Structure 1
Amino acid sequence: MSLYTPESFHSRDRAAAEQLIADYPFATLITSVADQAPCISHLPLLREGELLYGHMARANPHWQQFAAGRTLAVFQGPHAYVSPRWYPVPQKHVPTWNYAVVHVGGQPELLDEEASEAAVMQLSLHFDPQFMAAPARLAQLLPGIVAFRLPMTQLEIKFKMSQNRTPPERAALQAQLLASREPLARATGQWMKDHG
């Protein structure tokens, strides 16, 4: 993996990374195979210990590349625009973006029928606890999907939250974000407060 991460934005906070994965489970899954365009799918992934679980449509050719390439799951947490106007001395700064991301690299493993059924049920229960597919209905759905687990072999954590700025500058930015009408901006301000 090669996420550009200046030292001031590099985090070793594994608990915060796992919380980001839990709070923002809709991931971008990328599998790179030499001399081919990468396969990219957008799907929810749930963490269980050191494994991520997910599934995709069997018609999606992405899963067929798992064995031949390298796979990366990208989880994007809160993010927001940062205006130079928000600094105590605006003319010394440029527009930027604050964000939190976690990249997980590993080799996906396809699940057998029994494990696939359990993974699908776990995802369903997580996102729609009221939904309980009848066993017959679940049996109809399973042939159309491919379930997998992704061991969390590599982990890169980047929290770009203005750590390279002075405490007064960070406080000014955080206040602007927390006061925003935009939910993601407020979430970013809260992330700065909690993980800065």
Structure 2
Amino acid sequence: MHPDPTFGWRDQQALRAFVGVQRFGMLFAQTPDGPAVAHIPVVWLDDRRIGFHLSRGNRLAKHVDGARALFVVNGPHAYVSPDWYGLADQVPTWNYVAAELEGDVRALPADALPDLIDALSLDSETRLAPKPVWTRDKMTPGLFDRMAGAIIGYEMQVTDWRGTRKLGQNKVPAARSGAADGMAAAGDGAMAALMRETLTGADAV
């Protein structure tokens, strides 16, 4: 995470909500062949556990059970032009929102995998309303069980939370406002909105 405490994001509830909205990120862990990463969707199982699955052929699958791992989620990010600040002697930078969750991973028993898949799919399917929710009951009987044999379910017990909201908080309000206007004009309304939140005190810390 960014070393400047101005950008530090320590609100665990807000971090949890951010991960729940993004629900996709990168799982990093050490293997005998060096560090490896998997790109995965996740779901909150409770306030401190995330659930996910890996293909049995994934490089991490044989090594992540019992390992300490890092899960990284990236949110909006964008280049910031120095011209937008309306100040002299500025330099280009990059604004972004990101969260790191660290914890111990364990493989789930095979009979827990269907419930994990149901939770993962339901979390996304409900966001597609009014489309009817997909469930595995729509599949040919027996096919889901055969396909599930190709993956392993896991959970991470999150013990460390780190976040960054680098949105120009180290600049004076007028410069932040100008940068947000420039960002919006460049077509990045999501980042512009986040930057404007810092002008109203809505930025989480």
Q: TM-score, structure 2 length as denominator?
A: 0.84
Larger fraction in helix: 1
Q: CA deviation at 1:86?
A: 0.3
CA RMSD of aligned residues (A): 1.8
Query: Secondary structure of 1:189's partner?
Result: helix
Task: State the aligned residue count.
Answer: 189
Counterpart residue number, 1:50: 48
Q: 1:96 aligns to what? A: 93
Which residue does the alignment assign to 2:159?
A: 153
Query: Structure 1 pair 76/144, CA: closer, same or farther in 2 (3 Å)?
Result: same
Contact kept? 2:10, 2:161, Cα under 8 Å: no
Report if aligned partners of 2:110, 2:152 keep a CA contact under 8 Å in 1. no
The offset of 1:4, in angstroms, is 3.9
Identity among equivalent positions (%) equals 25
CA deviation after TM superposition for structure 1 residue 171, in Å: 1.3
Are 2:100 and 1:65 aligned?
A: no
Instruction: Return the alpha-carbon distance in structure 1 between the equivalents of residues 50 and 193 of structure 2.
Output: 26
Which residue of the other structure, out of 166, 177, 184, is the alignment partner of 1:178?
A: 184
Conserved in 1, the CA contact under 8 Å of 2:2 and 2:8?
no
TM-superposed CA distance for 1:127, in Å, is: 2.4
User: Offset at 1:28?
Assistant: 0.6
1:82-161 to 2 correspondences below 5 Å: 82-89=80-87, 91-128=88-125, 130-134=133-137, 136-161=142-167
Aligned AA (1:163): Q
Would the aligned equivalents of 2:8 and 2:163 in 1 still touch at CA under 8 Å?
A: yes
**What TM-score do you get using the length of structure 1 for normalisation?**
0.88
Could you report, residue by residue, the CA deviation over 1:106-139 in whole angstroms, capped at 9, with x for unpaired residues?
1111111222110111112222353211362221
Residue identity in the other structure for 2:124 = F
After superposition, the Cα gap between the structure-2 partners of 1:4 and 1:17, relative to the gap in structure 1 and judged at 3 Å, is same
Distance in 2 (alpha carbons) for counterparts of 1:66 and 1:159:
29
> Structure 1: where are the runs of 5+ without partners?
none
Please name the residue that 2:196 is paired with.
193
Q: Give the aligned residue type for 1:52.
A: I
CA contact (8 A) 1:29 1:73 kept: yes
Contact 1:5 1:158 (C-alpha < 8 Å) held by counterparts: no
Provide the rounded CA distance (Å) in 2 between the counterparts of 1:100 and 1:83: 18
Match of 2:129 in 1: none
Q: Which moved more, 1:130-139 or 1:50-59?
A: 130-139
What are structure 2's unaligned runs of at least 5 residues? 127-132
